[in-house]
Structure formats: structure tokens, C-alpha cells
A and B are shown apart, each in its own frame.
Chain A
Amino acid sequence: MTPSLHTVHRLLKHNGIPHEVNTDVSGDPHHESILARFPGEEGEEIPVHVTVGADGVFFAAAIRDLTEEQIPLAEAFADALHRSVRTGLFTVSHAEKKFGFTAYRLPGDQPPAAEELAPLLFTCPMMARLYGPAFDLVTEGASIDAALDAVEKTDGKPVMSFMLPGLPGRPKQEESDEPADEEEPFREDYPAPYDAELDRGPVTDMVREYYDRQDWRYEFDPGTKAFRMRMSSTCVDSYQMITFIRDEEWFTTLTVFPIRIPEEKRPLIEELIARANFGMILGCFEMQPRNGLLQFRNTCLCGDTELDMTVLERHIDVGFRMCNRYGPAILEVLYGGVSPADAVRKAEADIPQKNDDLPDAAADPRPDPAVTGLGEDSAPAPAPAKKGFFRRFLERIGVIVTDSGEGGGSDA
């Protein structure tokens, strides 16, 4: 999520406005948007779309749907309102037949602060709520001046009660029982919450030092605390590698495969990544089910532990190494008609353990795991002579060395 969109998200969250975030971690900012649902009159909602692109932050509120006959009326109404509106613009869409209000923030050198975006964001529903009824009067036959007179007399009452009760990052005056960014067991999104005061920190510095030592050309986004760069492998160009720092406590490295998986191929790729993930020590492949975004994810929760550079290297590089290993397999399944099993087998041909030709375990009776029950002696038994489940398990996790080499996974 870009810093701008994240700021909008926090503004909405802070003010209790329901909204849907549509982010795309592939890094294309044009895919990022928020649909906020502000309260309107009589239980209706005022939808406000926020999109972020290279050309700035764009806010759009839909005020009224129009009939063909109402379009000229709406244009005249919008013209009249332009004289009195200092921020934003009333618009009439001929294509969508909508009367709306838009506001716009130009791109700048720094991500916009909440104080900059809040007036634009909250002006949109306010204008909709104020001038929507005025436009209704116009469509019912009132003159524009009369309609505006009727709705602009608010007797000093706020048009909307949620107008800027507070900005995120600052304690609210009245309610403080819930922290603004409570940690969640599952991430809502990869990036860390935006906090301009925390552009640096022990984990950020540690990761930055690693990136610098590698002489990599990367971009660091202080808003999302993300290191971004592109890498090419032997078979696929332009993987995006992103390391997000979260709460100066952990970091997640995503290695994003540059090709979206077509819908009809997703079941095959799901099988492929399930096969590939088996036995990996660090990280895993994952696919966004809705849009086919494929990426490798590895998270290191390090807290205040200072990690050795070799440890950092394994955490950060594992994604690229795995994409390098399994990239050809993905392409073979996508375009070569190869089955996931064959593709993964080929990709793992040089991993002794995974290449181990074990008997079919389905025919193998599940051995007594030598645990007699909860609260009792729960030690695994010595490995049976026959290569059963338990022996294979011990081999895989590396506590038994196989005949073919060192046990362990394929992380590094």
C-alpha cells in the first residue's frame, strides 16, 4: 500500500468509516484504491472512491444518478456551485450518468500528511450530503439559487458529525480504549502502518545495512517502510523483491513472480506450490486466489535480536533463490503442459532428500507415534527399521541423516 493510501485508510479507520481497501502488492500503484462508505441521509451511503497513482491522490464522491434529461440541469448546477467551492470540483459524467464531486491532491516530493488529505477526503461526502438534496430540489423544479439558499442554511450545525474528530497517530480526546493499530494475528496487508516518525529503527537499519552491503539498487519507501528492488533470474525477468518492516519487530520479504496466473491454471499452480512448499525450511509460495498474484513470502520475527548478516542473507535471499529454482517449473506448468508433480520433481532433482524414492506412504500403516496421550510420556519412539512415516519425518527435519546426504529442507 502506498503511503498516501495508507494515510487515507488510517483516517477512515480512525473515524469509524467503513471502507474496503483494494491493494495490490505487485507494486503498481494504479491498482490501489479505497471505497469508503460514508453515512448519508436516512441510512443511505455516500460512496467515495480514493485512488492513488503517480499523478496524485484522487477522491470522488458519487452524489446522484442522472437521467439523460437531468444531465444539462446537473451541468448548470455544477457551474453555479463552482463559484462557491474552493476545494474540489463538481462533475457530471455523461458516460456514467452521474453527478459527483471530486478532489485532487497533486503528487509531491513527500507523501502527503494526514492533515493534507483529511480535508479533501471529508469534503467529498460533505458536499454530497449538502448539495445532493439541493440538486433534488432543482430536479423538482426549484431554481438553482432557491435550492442553494434552502440547503446552505445550517444554522451553524455541522453538516456531518464525523467531520475531523481526530487524526490517526494522535490520541482521541474522548475515546482511548482501543489502540489505533492493534496487532492482528493475520496481516491485513503487508506494509507496516505508516508513521513518519519511525522512518528509522533497529530492524530497518539492519535490513538497510544488508541491502547496502550487497550493493543492490533499491528504493526505500519510508511511508510503508519497504525496500523495493527488481531482480532477474535465469528464466524470468523482473521479479520484484520487497522487504517490509513491521513495527521494528519483524520483516517480511516478498518475491513477486512477474506473471499473473490465469484463472484456468490456478488449480495447477496451487498444486505446484503445495508440492514445492513441502520441505521448505524458510518461507513459502503463496498465490492470491482472486487475481493470481504469485509470490514467495518469508517472515522473520526478530524483535530486538540483532541478527548476523549471514542470517539476514538467508532470510532475504531465500525468496529469490526459490523463485530461481521453481520459476522454470511454474513456466512449464503454465505453458508447457507439464504436470505439477513432474515440474516440481525436475526442479528438486538436485535436492537429495526430496529426490528420495520412498515407498508410497498411503500403503504404509501409520506407525504408533510413540506418544501415549496428552499429559503422558510424549516422546517419539526410536526410528523404526522400516522407512515409515516417522522415519521419513525425522529425515526430513534433519534429525536423521539419510543415506543420500544431509537431511533438511531446500531453503538454502
Chain B
Amino acid sequence: MPDEKQTPRNLTDSVRAYFDSQGWQYRYDEEKGFFGMLVKVSEEMEACKAYTVIRDEERFTTFVTLPFRVPEEQRPLAARFISAANYQLLLGCFEMDFRDGDVQYKTTCLCGNVRLDPEHIRRYIEVGLQMARDCGPMLDDLIYKNVPLEDVLARLAKLRRDQKKR
């Protein structure tokens, strides 16, 4: 671990400045080096937990965790949806913990100890919130409302088409 007294905290300061600029209410844990907050990304879901973790002042990773877990017997099915959702993304991906069924979207910015502009940080953080908003309800429908995978994938494809048009 770098000596925090000696190492400039460019990344932490940049991320903090971005969070402050958004007016978000968050808690920064100085000791563990992460920002945490709850975010209501969709009316269809409960709030998601969002964490931005700074590692060694050289990268930050943002996790947006969906507010539900996938039951064990449904995890292979969820994996199929996640695989489709991840295809053709630019930044980040969904991941599922097969041990407990937690699903989250993660993005990592590995850039070294540099000061980043807010726009740069925004794109890394907001993509996770956007993906949780768009795909979280689909996964919820697949797992808890027994919507067939084909129907959910069709919704996903339509979403992609609409986003392309925009």
C-alpha cells in the first residue's frame, strides 16, 4: 500500500469532487477508501447500493448492486441473461456472485494517480446506474415473475435498438 501521507490523493479527490458536484448524499469511509450510497435508479425496483472504491490511488471501481438476489436454482438462467446483457457494452459489465446470487454492475477506471475531470468520472459511474435502471427490472421479471427468457431478451434487444436511435 502506498504511504498515504506521501502520495497525492488525486483520484480520491477527483471522485469526491464529482460526488459533491452531484449533490449526492454519500458516506466516504476514509479508512477503507470507498464512497457508498443508496440510489433509487428505477421506480420498478428498490434502491440499489452503489459503492465507488479507490484502490491504491491508481484505480477506482464502481459497483451498483441490484436490490435482490437470484435464487440458487435460477442462477444459470440469470447467467444467460447477464451474458446477453453484457454483450456489446462499452464500459463495464454485470457480474453475479454464484455463491449468494448477488448481481451488480461494475466499472473500473485504471488510470494511475492522476487528477480526472468530472466528465470522465461521470461516464464511469453513471453507466452502472443506467444499466441497473435498464436491466435490473428485466432480471427481476425473469427471476421472480417467470417471464420467459426469450421475452426478456427481446426487451433487451429493443432497448438496445432504442438507445442506438437516440
Q: Footprint of B on A, CB under 8 Å? A: 184-188, 250, 252, 267, 270-271, 273-275, 277-282, 284, 286-289, 297, 299-303, 305, 307-308, 311, 314-315, 341, 358, 360-362, 364, 366, 369, 371, 373-380, 389, 392-394, 397-400, 408, 411
| Contact of B55 with A408 in the complex, beta carbons under 8 Å | yes
The listed residue (B71, B94, B110) touching A300 by CB distance below 8 A is B110
A298 to B131, CA, bound (A): 17
The listed residue (B38, B75, B99, B109) touching A371 by CB distance below 8 A is B38
| Contact of A305 with B114 in the complex, beta carbons under 8 Å | yes
The listed residue (A311, A362, A379) touching B29 by CB distance below 8 A is A379
Taking A186-B164, A252-B90 as contacts, is the C-beta distance between A308 and B82 under 8 angstroms? Answer: no
Q: How many residues of B sit at the interface, in one of the four size bands?
A: 35 or more
Check: B147 CB closer than 8 A to any chain A CB. Answer: no
| Contact of A273 with B83 in the complex, beta carbons under 8 Å | yes
| Contact of A362 with B69 in the complex, beta carbons under 8 Å | yes
A277 to B112, CA, bound (A): 23
A99 to B94, CA, bound (A): 49
Which residues of chain B from 79 to 106 have a CB within 8 Å of any chain A CB? 79-80, 82-84, 86-102
The listed residue (B58, B93, B111) touching A286 by CB distance below 8 A is B93
The listed residue (B39, B69, B91) touching A301 by CB distance below 8 A is B91
Check: B59 CB closer than 8 A to any chain A CB. Answer: yes
| Contact of B34 with A397 in the complex, beta carbons under 8 Å | yes
Nearest-CB residue, chain B, relative to A377: B27
A308 to B113, CA, bound (A): 10
The listed residue (A186, A389, A398, A400) touching B90 by CB distance below 8 A is A186
Distance (whole angstroms) from the CB of A353 to the closest CB of chain B: 12
| Contact of A284 with B101 in the complex, beta carbons under 8 Å | no
A271 to B80, CA, bound (A): 7
| Contact of A305 with B116 in the complex, beta carbons under 8 Å | yes
A274 to B82, CA, bound (A): 7
Q: Footprint of A on B, CB under 8 Å? A: 25-29, 32-34, 36-40, 47, 49, 51, 53, 55, 58-59, 61, 63, 69, 71-72, 75-76, 78-80, 82-84, 86-102, 108-112, 114, 116-117, 119-120, 123-124, 127, 130, 153, 160, 163-164, 166
Taking A360-B99, A399-B53 as contacts, is the C-beta distance between A289 and B38 under 8 angstroms? Answer: no
Distance (whole angstroms) from the CB of B91 to the closest CB of chain A: 5
| Contact of B163 with A185 in the complex, beta carbons under 8 Å | yes
Distance (whole angstroms) from the CB of B75 to the closest CB of chain A: 8
Give 4 new A-B contacts, CB below 8 A, not counting A187-B89, A300-B111, A305-B111. Answer: A284-B86, A287-B87, A371-B37, A399-B29
Taking A267-B80, A274-B83, A303-B117 as contacts, is the C-beta distance between A362 and B34 under 8 angstroms? Answer: no
| Contact of A371 with B49 in the complex, beta carbons under 8 Å | yes
Nearest-CB residue, chain B, relative to A371: B38
Which chain A positions have C-beta within 8 A of B34?
380, 397, 399
Nearest-CB residue, chain B, relative to A318: B110
| Contact of B110 with A361 in the complex, beta carbons under 8 Å | no
A286 to B92, CA, bound (A): 11
Distance (whole angstroms) from the CB of B73 to the closest CB of chain A: 10
Which chain A positions have C-beta within 8 A of B29?
379-380, 399
A292 to B86, CA, bound (A): 14
Taking A378-B25, A400-B32 as contacts, is the C-beta distance between A360 and B100 under 8 angstroms? Answer: yes
| Contact of B120 with A301 in the complex, beta carbons under 8 Å | yes
